[in-house]
Amino acid sequence: MEEVLSFTNLILQSLGLNPNMADKLDRFVILLVIALLAFITDIVVRKILVGIVYNIVKKTKNKWDDLFLDKKLLNDLALFAPAVLVYALLPLAFQQEPDILFWSRKFILVFMSILLIITINTSIGIVQKIAEVSQRLKGKTLNGFFQILKIIVSFTGAIIIVSIIIDKSPTTLFAGLGASAAVLMLVFKDTIVGFVSGILLSSNKMLRVGDWITCKKHNVNGVVIEISLNTVKIRNFDNTIITMPPYSLVSDSFQNWRNMQENGARRIMRSINIDMHSVKFCTKEMIEKYRKISLIKDYIDSQEKQFYEYNLQNGIDDSVMVNGMRLTNIGVFRAYLQRYIENQPTIDKNQIYMIRQMEPTENGLPIQIYFFTTKFQWVAYEGVMADVFDHIIAVIPEFDLNVFQNLTSKDIIFNDIKLT
């Protein structure tokens, strides 16, 4: 190395410089040569080798290598070549100044450590993108896992950088940090709890991006748009964004509508209250009227025959309404609703469907309509439910029944006019 410095000094003197000036400029010239070599190395690696590799990868049929050999990652890797070259050649310029050489090399090592951290984190990000498009890992909540990896890499890199600056072994620093682990756990409590909660959400398949979830306690009713280490973001249907920690979903209950979407069927379960004063046995006139309704004509004929034979065999006097078996308008109405629901074009007949009578209350007799529709999207679903109940409400008077509802001002005024 001394020979290089002496050779440079002799060249400068041969160019006409005096020995004192040559002694001052020889190191500067060597630094310029090192910088020039580093620049040429950077051009060769970045412009030629990286360009060749990048073009070859782009021509392959595989998509994952396009992500992994991203141009930004290749450019970051290319910076190592000139950095290593400068680190190796610096003693040529500062062989007689050990302090300057010592700190210059430390600076380069810190630079390469930072570059290594950036490169590894970039690689983790690319692996994350590959995992997101992978069919085997589709639906897995991996965002938090990759985030914790980046944190570990950055934390380890920071320890290595500090060890380089203070000239201590990284193992010594890690041993010292073990004593303050309790403090670190307190500082990173939310991060640790969030990471564990994210693992639980993923391993139990409780949540993934794109799921529609509801949680009344937190006013959540929307679609999950992001799952990270410390937060879960949900876009509500009113276009507001709710951000909540993952452990809130683990510790509290929430409703996930994914299975409904995957099965392609959504439940409609709604009751309509009938005024019990309008429930009665069917007269012959009522039966003849109901028989004209095509959906229940066969039902009326079948029930009439069955009741007639039963009453005849048991010698029942059917001149009195309460004797024997006979049709009621509420029973005929339920039979009509059953057939009406069965004939709906959007009903999923692989799921349970029924019309059931609920327990009477002070608000009347609830008749519940229960079935699943294949129109599970919100707007289409609401349209199907509205169409069904529009028809039900309109058809109730045809069965001599009344819908129960509280008195309105119109009812009170009408009754006052009748009384006067």
Q: Could you read off the pLDDT of 274-295 as tens digits, one per residue?
A: 999 999 999 999 999 999 999 9
The verdict on residue 150 lying in a domain is no
End residue of a domain, out of 235, 259, 283: 259
Closest CA to 296 of 325, 271, 329, 268: 329
Q: Which domain holds residue 19?
A: 2-138
Spatial strand order of the sheet with 365-373 comes to: 266-274, 365-373, 354-357
The verdict on residue 210 lying in a domain is yes
- Calculate mean pLDDT across residues 334-349: 94
Q: Does 410 share its domain with 273?
A: yes
The verdict on residue 147 lying in a domain is no
Q: Is residue 335 over pLDDT 80?
A: yes
Q: Does 131 share its domain with 175?
A: no
Closest CA to 283 of 247, 312, 326: 326
Angstrom distances, CA of residue 70 to CA of 43, 50, 58, 67, 302: 18, 10, 10, 5, 75
Angstrom distances, CA of residue 160 to CA of 14, 90, 114: 46, 22, 10
Residues 287, 301 contacting (CB under 8 angstroms): no
Spatial strand order of the sheet with 232-236 comes to: 241-244, 232-236, 220-227, 212-215, 255-256
DSSP 341-378: HHT-TTB-TTS--EEEE---BTTBEEEEEEEEES--SH
End residue of a domain, out of 214, 243, 259: 259
Runs of H (alpha helix) within 253-408: 258-263, 284-291, 297-313, 329-342, 378-395
Residues 194, 233 contacting (CB under 8 angstroms): no
Cα–Cα dist 355/342, whole Å: 11
pLDDT-derived band at 35 (thresholds 50, 70, 90) equals confident
Q: Does 101 share its domain with 13?
A: yes
Cα–Cα dist 348/115, whole Å: 58
Single-letter code of the amino acid located at 26: D
- Say what percent of the chain tops pLDDT 70: 76
The verdict on residue 132 lying in a domain is yes
- Calculate mean pLDDT across residues 325-354: 93
Residues 392, 333 contacting (CB under 8 angstroms): no
Q: Output the domain CATH number for residue 229.
A: 2.30.30.60
CA 400 to mean position of chain CA atoms: 51
Angstrom distances, CA of residue 165 to CA of 160, 169, 218: 9, 11, 48
For the record, the structure tokens of 172 come out as 């010594």
Closest CA to 227 of 141, 120, 161: 141
Single-letter code of the amino acid located at 10: L
pLDDT-derived band at 16 (thresholds 50, 70, 90) equals low
The verdict on residue 161 lying in a domain is no
Q: Does 255 share its domain with 375?
A: no
Task: Give the range with max mean pLDDT: 10-19, 145-154, 321-330, 348-357.
Answer: 348-357
Q: Output the domain CATH number for residue 350.
A: 3.30.70.100
pLDDT, tens only, 206-251: 888 888 899 888 889 999 998 876 788 999 988 899 988 888 888 7
Q: Does 184 share its domain with 230?
A: yes
End residue of a domain, out of 234, 259, 284: 259
For the record, the structure tokens of 365 come out as 């007799």
Domain count, the chain: 3
- Calculate mean pLDDT across residues 125-147: 68
Q: Is the dihedral of CA 84, 89, 94, 95 positive or negative?
A: positive
Residues 279, 329 contacting (CB under 8 angstroms): yes
For the record, the structure tokens of 379 come out as 């707007």
pLDDT-derived band at 142 (thresholds 50, 70, 90) equals low
Q: Does 357 share its domain with 280?
A: yes
Cα–Cα dist 412/407, whole Å: 7
The verdict on residue 152 lying in a domain is no
Q: Does 28 share its domain with 130?
A: yes
Query: Strand 232-236 vs strand 241-244: parallel, antiparallel, or unpaired?
Result: antiparallel
Assign 269 to helix, strand or coil. strand
Single-letter code of the amino acid located at 291: R
Q: In this structure, what DSSP letter does residue 49 have?
A: I
Q: Does 277 share its domain with 411?
A: yes
What pLDDT does 369 receive?
96
pLDDT-derived band at 403 (thresholds 50, 70, 90) equals very high
Q: Is residue 394 over pLDDT 90?
A: yes
Q: Does 302 share its domain with 394?
A: yes
Q: Does 282 share its domain with 255?
A: no
Angstrom distances, CA of residue 83 to CA of 37, 41, 115, 274: 11, 10, 10, 85
Single-letter code of the amino acid located at 28: F
The verdict on residue 225 lying in a domain is yes
Instruction: For tokens 């290594």, name the residue.
Output: 116
Q: Does 251 share its domain with 300?
A: no
Cα–Cα dist 33/93, whole Å: 10
Q: Does 242 share its domain with 203?
A: yes
Beta bridge partners of 243: 233
Assign 242 to helix, strand or coil. strand
The verdict on residue 334 lying in a domain is yes
What pLDDT does 236 receive?
93
